[in-house]
Amino acid sequence: MRKFSFAGSAAAITGAASGIGRALALELAARGCDVALADLDETGLESVAKDIVEKHGRRATIRRVDVADPRQIQDFATSSIADFPALNILINNAGVALLGQFDEFDQAQMAWLMDINFWGVVHGTRAFMAHLTSRPRAHIVNISSVFGIIAPPGQSAYSASKFAVRGFSESLRHELAMSNSTVGLSVVHPGGVKTNIARRARSGSLLREKANADELGNRFEQLARTTPAAAAERIVRGIERGEPRILIGADARLLDIIQRLKPSTYWASLARVFQRMAV
């Protein structure tokens, strides 16, 4: 299959104000894409849009969107397609984290996370799908996590959402292939990427929320080895090649191997390593 061509394409990206989303917007613009950007952080959106115009000379539109609200996602899709009729790339990137053991958070907190991490992906895919299938060639990218491959303790909510993204994405990819669709789909599993998701995480224990977020943010930034720019470059290369599954970072690749070798007992091999990381 010939490589995906980015010149003259357009992409819609959620969670585009910072981290991997911002880096993806800049990487795609550098390759000739116009971009429609969504996030709750309007200041961040304005900043990345300005960089795209000044550095790459591409068009960039911005819209404040809560991906937990399907009406807002549908409005984003409608406006993005109107602005860029050639839009043929969708990246469902927006995500949040919730720390804590299962008995430390309530159903409302878990629903908040699932509405963003999982239903945001589903709603985004549904809102853009009819248009994408009308294009000669299109691609969907859904961001899962390495915690959509393994499930550490203290990550029951986050892992549930990321395993759900993985399952949804793989099944949909098979449906698209069976129907000979022009739409490809990649599910992405980042390992440690230097973003603010850990620092902005909510905690199941509200009394510990700020202390946990600050501590975890500092620790995560020390351990994360992959920059958002490197992650974006790898994802774009995966789109170009039509890769169904994209692992980001040596840590994600190693954990994937361990899980494959010990699918039901991998935690016995990993527990001590994660405990050292938590110190």
Tell me the catalytic residues. Answer: 158
Q: Which stretch of DSSP H or E encloses residue 30?
A: helix 19-30
Helices (H), 84-227: 107-117, 119-133, 156-178, 209-223
Cα–Cα distance between 254 and 243 in angstroms, integer? 19
